[in-house]
Amino acid sequence: MSTRPIRIAPSILSADFTRLGEEIRAIDAAGADYIHVDVMDGHFVPNITFGPIAAAAARQASRKIIDCHLMITPTDPFITAFAKAGADIITVHAEAGPHLHRSLQAIRNEGKKAGVAINPATPVSAIAHVITDVDLILVMSVNPGFGGQTFIEESYTKLRQVRDLVAGRPIDIEVDGGVSADNAGKLAAAGANVFVAGTSIFAGNDPKTYAARIAAIRNGALTIQV
């Protein structure tokens, strides 16, 4: 279990794009802690989604933490653009380039929090040597590229390994993919404290349901399940 505060980060990948600003304002009002922006390039992952302009729109729509997850390669040429767009956290993939340490330094040089993400098949050892250079570690519990995928059960083991690597440092442990109220407690017990959720919050795209769904994930995470 993490000693860091529980944070719920709805992924706007599952929002209704025809009214994106309204959707962001709705999850803000419904109790979201972060606004999670999934950036995909059709190259590193098999989908194309948002760029810095969308991150800037999210910044205009909410004062909450803008959490940008860059599923792109190369990453470094775009770090400044996302920083200027208003991202508070910029997360890059360990698999996305040859110089992870340099990428993390570039994020921090922009005055932003630096995150590193690892895909399901990437061992935790891949980030051991940058542990002092990150503010957040994102464990992908599905293969990145699409919303609505089935949670990979091995992710619990990986979260526990990340928790052991963090060893009490002030680093958030984020989990993304198949997160719901049903597994939030077990995820929290394994070490996660930031919960990215798309379908389980936005399904049906009815803003009246968002507060209850966010609260359900938060309450699930606070009810630790072994």
Evaluated on CA atoms 81, 85, 88, 93, the torsion sign reads negative
Residues whose CB is less than 8 angstroms from the CB of residue 58 and which lie 6 or more positions away in sequence, other chains included: 12, 24, 35, 37, 66, 86
Is 38 one of the annotated active-site residues of the chain? yes
Q: CB–CB of 91/117 below 8 Å?
A: yes
Q: Pick the catalytic residue: 33, 41, 67, 176?
A: 176
Q: Pick the catalytic residue: 38, 67, 135, 172?
A: 38
Q: CB–CB of 159/175 below 8 Å?
A: yes
- β-bridge mates for residue 35, sequence order: 66
Please give the helix or strand (H or E) that residue 150 lies within, else none. none
Indicate which residues carry an active-site annotation: 38, 176
